Structure 1
């Protein structure tokens, strides 16, 4: 089994968030400070978890999604690990929708592209370890199908 957990820890994001919090504190509006503190907490605790095993490829956004969304091997037409452009293809990171498909990404430019049987759009789940994922996908598909 392969597991990966990704957090929003990009320095540019935290400079932006903490700068916004500092500005709100400076302006002295308590309700806005509370809102910004909530946003910061959300980004700190939010994480994308991915699991690859004999059943298939599963992902979830913790804490909003308590259970994994599982795509079983027999539901997949094609699976590849590919480089992508978050801004160019999907308009950014997070849960994003485009004409070609849906992306679940946190950072970086590598993802697991899953073409499901009977569906036109591709699902892309971001990864920080493309070589490990490539190896695991090959091994699990042999076992899972």
Structure 2
């Protein structure tokens, strides 16, 4: 049975500039399918066969936007530890027991410079789970003799850190 949840935050990839970039293949696939499959006009200078246009439309016009829309970072602080799930990449929560937490602090960071962007990232300052913004909680975990760092992005990092403090106190 799961421990009671002290804190929960669900974040989605909702930056406008990201959706504008994602929209490019979506619009092209919809337009190409409309042009060639519905109007019967070849799409492009060297048109692909109809089956390929249909496949491209299904992948980039339907499945890709559904996949991208489903991406979310779920962070929970429970009595037994910190749990993180970056759906759909993590099939279940990754849990970090409080006993392994050596330090944590609310931080403002540069997602591009420090971690190489948003998502599940590995950068010069360690690993990060981020979806938007530039604030979060930086954790240091003991892994044997080695310390591992993990930045977890948050829109409400002070509440997140306070829940971690309450959880560790228990």
TM-score, reference length from structure 2: 0.77
Matched, 1:20 2:25: yes
Aligned to 1:5: 10
Partners of 1:57 and 1:16 in 2: CA distance = 33
Aligned to 2:68: 43
Q: Deviations over 1:26-62 (max 9, x none)?
A: 3343222222122211111121100012211110122
Q: Which runs of 5+ in 1 are unaligned?
A: none
Aligned to 1:130: 157
Matched, 1:31 2:55: yes
- Does structure 1 conserve the Cα–Cα contact (< 8 Å) formed by 2:114 and 2:124? no
Partners of 1:123 and 1:60 in 2: CA distance = 13
Partners of 2:124 and 2:94 in 1: CA distance = 21
Aligned to 1:111: 136
Aligned to 2:93: 68
Q: Which has the larger radius of gyration?
A: 2
Partners of 1:48 and 1:67 in 2: CA distance = 12
Partners of 2:57 and 2:127 in 1: CA distance = 33
Partners of 1:32 and 1:89 in 2: CA distance = 35
- Does structure 2 conserve the Cα–Cα contact (< 8 Å) formed by 1:100 and 1:121? no
Partners of 1:97 and 1:46 in 2: CA distance = 18
TM-score, reference length from structure 1: 0.89
Q: Which runs of 5+ in 2 are unaligned?
A: 1-5, 34-52
SS of 1:128's equivalent in the other structure is coil
Number of matched residues? 143
Partners of 2:91 and 2:122 in 1: CA distance = 22
The alignment yields a C-alpha RMSD, in angstroms, of: 1.6
- Does structure 2 conserve the Cα–Cα contact (< 8 Å) formed by 1:111 and 1:127? yes
